[in-house]
Structure 1
Amino acid sequence: MAAVGQHAVISSSPLRIADRAYVAWGTVAFAYAIAFLQRMSPQTIGLSFMRDFGTDASGVAMLASSYFWGYTLMQIPAGVLVDRFGVKRVVLCSMTASVLGSGAFALSPNLLDVFIARVIMACGDALVFTALLKLVAQSFSDQRFGLMSGISQVSGYVGGVVATTPLAAAVTGFGWRACFLFIAGIGLANLACASVALKAAPANAKSSTLQGVLRACWHALGSAANWGCAMSFASHFAVVTTLAGVWGIPMVSHYFGISPSAAGGPLLAFMVGNAIGSIFLGHAADRTRSLDAALIRISLLRMLLVAMLLPVVAHHFGLIYVGVVFAVLGLVAGGTVPLVLKCTKHLYTAERIGVGASINTTSAGVFAGLAQPVIAFAMVAASGLDVRAGASAGKVANDAGYATLIAILLLMSLPGIIGPLMMRRQLILDTKI
């Protein structure tokens, strides 16, 4: 009997460990969903924000770019912090900053306070993706890394889904300030759960010195292949986030003269496509031998889909057509991230994947942050709208402005083709090894 009982304890122990690993992963994944929701929210709250603060497209661009700058600010040390101090401590600090930023944003009385609150919010949210990636690399085998990283991305896209029609409806009913106070409360509850579920970093992880991690980061900057990986991710991130997280709902609303809630439909389809693409194409990424060729093909397809959203084409084919294009674009975007993450793991290894994620996301944040004011200026100039009249009418741009947006997004897509070519040689060597 004692032997049977001992066997039961031993056999159940791995199950309990696995269960705790999934619960811990779930808390970080939920934090990533909140981060994604907050990143994608400007397109949904933009018109209400313009009315409340009496601003125009430049105000919406500030709302978006402030997040990107905070995101970028913390991406520089994110990989170093995660690799040195472990997932738990970094995630708890991250969640705390995110909750404080969300609450401060909801209570901001002026644009300066909005900027500061969004920067604080983004500084917290910025650490989540790197920590989640590190947790997946530590908890799952290489054969399941692409699939699990894809599923991890789905958690973000769930937040993105909430940032479309559901958030638009909530903003209409309760106002954007009440919505962000609620988000802060949900984040606080998740912080409490994570503090219990996450395990402290193992002793061998703590043996890594800060100097050693910084040296690895500096060494990584000297590799053309690593810069190619960063360019691939930056191009994907900046294009997709600008289209689907900043200007998507205003663009669809303008094209068809519909409310922001109704215009959220195609963006909802985009997020659903993202989730499906992350899972199925993430699974395919584990079986793809030529990662560079796959990234080039997927970048070209993304450019084609973006071009299909030009005003003249969208007006001709209608709202359903635009919804289908956004859905397919979501599939493509969802499949891009597991491919980039697979490249990151090949180039940096699981031990230093935090450094790789940090370099990639820093590059992406800088690219996206610099692009926003340029895009806003170009759209306003091309539209030729009177600034105050446009703001009071809730109009951001006209067809000429959105055509300019599409043209800029196509130019921003070019690094997504150049980057894989820079990685090709190193990826081939890693495959042979």
Structure 2
Amino acid sequence: MSTFGQQAVYTPTSRLTDRAYLAWATVAIAYAIAFLQRVSPQSVSLSFMHDFNTDAAGVAMLASSYFWGYTLMQIPAGLLVDRYGVKRVVLGSMIASSLGSAAFALAPDLLDVFVARLIVACGDALVFTALLKLVAQSFTDERFGTMSGISQLSGYVGGMIATTPLAAAVSGFGWRACFLFIACVGLANLAFARLALKPDPASHSNKTLREVVTAAGQSLTHIANWGCALTFASHFAVVTTLSGVWGIPMVAHFFNISQTAAGTPLLAFMIGNMLGSIFLGHAADRAAAALDSALIRICALRMVLTAMLLPPLAHAFGLVYVTIVFTALGLVAGGTVPLVLKCVKKLYTASLIGVGASVNTTAAGIFAGASQTVISFAMLAASHVPGTDAVHNKAAIGDAGYTALIVVLLLMSLPGIAGPLLMRSKLIAR
């Protein structure tokens, strides 16, 4: 009788807990797919250029279309989740991402590619905000930190799949078949999520989109907040361009190897990112009193590691050396985000942290999207100067082109030095 009573008490709780984990898993899978979509251009770029008879400018368009769509949806993302609830937003996000992925796989020309990737990005932009809200709603305070950390790691798993595994699949089956498969996985996850996610309670939020935009505009009247936006935008644009757009093509060119083999250093980067976000996140707590100095040092270290990928050094020291550099870059990148988030909380306070996150992510998307055109122009211009190794092939990028890439990335890193200096006085005051 006692045992029966215990079952009566604990079984409903256990079922609710199991359902919470199942619901979380569906949204975590959606976030992994979103991260995969963001960094996938590096694994498909060579096949993409061949199929559409384009060059680095076409790859830049492929990458920038995602950044622009992602940026457009950042400001309203938090409002949509608060107003309409997790389930409706997540299901809409999954539909957009899956249909956009299928449209990308079937796109006959570059204009259709741009539109398809824009749709994918608009859907993917909502996922992480919804995932964090779901964690806050479904788990106790004692488990919130653990579950939010695991949620972030789910994205890195998607990033890992976008390296060597995706490159191998593209080599074996073609990029169109791969993205059709991704669309099918997304639709299957959509059906699962529809069953696993609980209906959302009616929202009591009085916020309007106009109020959110007004608050974001007011935040940009403070120079320290500009410094925070510059810091994160510099980090995001540099790391994503290197690890998500040009990393695999660059390594493949350096060592004349397949995209599958060239994905190994980028896989190491993602693993480093995971480890950095876990272990260096602890260090961020100890650096709370000197966030500005810590961000300047970590930006300088990122610049040194980026410069270590210059073609002469890569050719001289080999693939193992490049893999080690990418691993170190991953550790640094993973450790940067906790430092920036601490700055956001200090500058915006807890009541406006959503606005702070939107402002920083929007700035990062704009900087990353706009920079792709500049990067592609610099790479093509340098590669096709008479006397370089790619001058006879319009689509080819040679050592000079990848040298130009590294130089532009170093210039793009400079706001990461200036940003903390602009935040210094306000961080000290708080």
User: Which runs of 5 or more structure 2 residues have no equivalent in the other structure?
Assistant: none
How far 1:286 moved relative to its partner? 4.4
CA distance in 2, matches of 1:141, 1:415: 39
Aligned to 1:305: 305
CA separation of 1:29 and 1:62: change in aligned 2, threshold 3 A: same
Aligned partners of 1:424 and 1:89: how far apart in 2?
Answer: 41
- The separation in 2 between residues aligned to 1:18 and 1:286, in whole angstroms, is 31
**Which residue in the other structure is 1:401 paired with?**
401
**Aligned partners of 1:105, 1:392: CA distance in 2, in Å?**
30
Report if the CA contact (8 A) 1:67-1:119 is conserved. yes
Residues 212 and 174 of structure 1, relative CA distance in 2, 3 Å threshold: same
Distance change (3 Å), C-alpha of 1:403 and 1:392:
closer
Q: Which amino acid aligns with 1:270?
A: F
| Structure 2 CA distance for partners of 1:210 and 1:375, relative to 1, 3 Å | closer
Q: How does 1:158-173 map to 2 (within 5 A)?
A: 158-173=157-172
| Range with bigger deviation, 301-310 or 122-131 | 122-131
Task: Find the counterpart in structure 1 of residue 34 from structure 2.
Answer: 35
Contact 2:249/2:259, CA 8 A, preserved across alignment = yes
Cα distance, 1:13 vs. partner?
6.1
- Matched with 1:296 is 296
Over 3 Å counting, the alpha-carbon distance change for 1:119 and 1:231 in structure 2 is: same
Check conservation: 1:146, 1:283, Cα contact below 8 A: no
- Paired residues for 1:358-373 under 5 Å: 358-373=358-373
CA contact (8 A) 1:70 1:122 kept: yes
Of 10-19 and 99-108, more deviation after overlay is shown by: 10-19
Structure 1 gap ranges (5+):
none
Alignment correspondent of 1:111: 110
Q: How far does residue 289 in structure 1 lie from its aligned partner after superposition?
A: 2.1
Partners of 2:157 and 2:391 in 1: CA distance: 31
Cα distance 1:232–1:272, how it changes in 2: closer, same or farther (>3 A)?
A: same
How far apart are the structure 2 equivalents of 1:252 and 1:402?
Answer: 10
Q: 2 CA distance for matches of 1:270 and 1:165? A: 11
Residue by residue over 1:192-235, the C-alpha shift from the partner in whole angstroms, topping out at 9 and shown as x without a partner, is 22233334555565344445444433333333333222222211
Query: RCO higher in 1 or 2 (8 Å CA, sep ≥ 6)?
Result: 1
1:389-409: per-residue Cα shift (whole Å, max 9, x none)?
A: 969969631111111111111
Q: TM-score, normalised by structure 1?
A: 0.89
Question: How far apart, CA to CA, are the structure 2 residues paired with 1:346 and 1:148?
Answer: 23
Counterpart position of 1:419? 419
Higher mean C-alpha deviation, range 75-84 or range 94-103:
75-84
Question: How much has 1:128 moved relative to structure 2?
Answer: 1.6
**Paired position in structure 1 for 2:357:** 357
Structure 2 counterparts to residues 194-213 of structure 1, below 5 A: 194-203=193-202, 205-213=204-212
Distance 1:10 1:143, change over 3 A: closer
CA distance in 2, matches of 1:116, 1:297: 39
Contact preservation (8 Å) 1:298, 1:332: yes
Is 2:293 the counterpart of 1:319? Answer: no
**CA 338–8 in structure 1, closer or farther in 2 if over 3 Å, else same:** farther
Aligned to 1:379: 379
Residue 152 of structure 2 corresponds to 153
Q: Using the alignment, how far apart are the partners of 1:139 and 1:293 within structure 2?
A: 37
Partner in structure 2 of residue 87 of structure 1: 86
Q: For the Cα contact (< 8 Å) 1:150–1:337, is it kept in 2?
A: no
Q: CA deviation at 1:334?
A: 1.3
Q: Is this contact kept in 2: 1:266–1:326, CA < 8 A? A: yes
Q: 1:206 aligns to what SS in structure 2?
A: coil
Aligned length: 427
**How far apart are 1:143 and its partner, in Å?**
8.3
Compared with structure 1, are the counterparts of its residues 23 and 220 closer, same or farther at alpha carbon in structure 2 (3 Å cutoff)?
A: farther
Structure 1 Cα separation of the partners of residues 352 and 41 of structure 2: 33
> Distance between the aligned counterparts of 1:202 and 1:419, measured in 2?
41
Alignment of 1:99-248 (within 5 A): 99-136=98-135, 148-203=147-202, 205-248=204-247
Deviation at 1:86, TM superposition (A): 3.2
What amino acid maps onto 1:361 in structure 2? T
What code does the residue aligned with 2:361 have?
A: T
Cα deviation, residue 171, structure 1: 0.8
AA paired with 1:65?
S
CA contact (8 A) 2:70 2:122 kept: yes
Question: How much is the aligned-residue C-alpha RMSD, in angstroms?
Answer: 2.9
- 2-side partners of 1:18 and 1:353: how far apart? 29
Relative to 1, partners in 2 of residues 1:214 and 1:85: Cα closer, same or farther, differing over 3 Å? farther
The percent identity for this pair of structures is 70
Whole-angstrom CA distance in 2 between matches of 1:213 and 1:9:
46
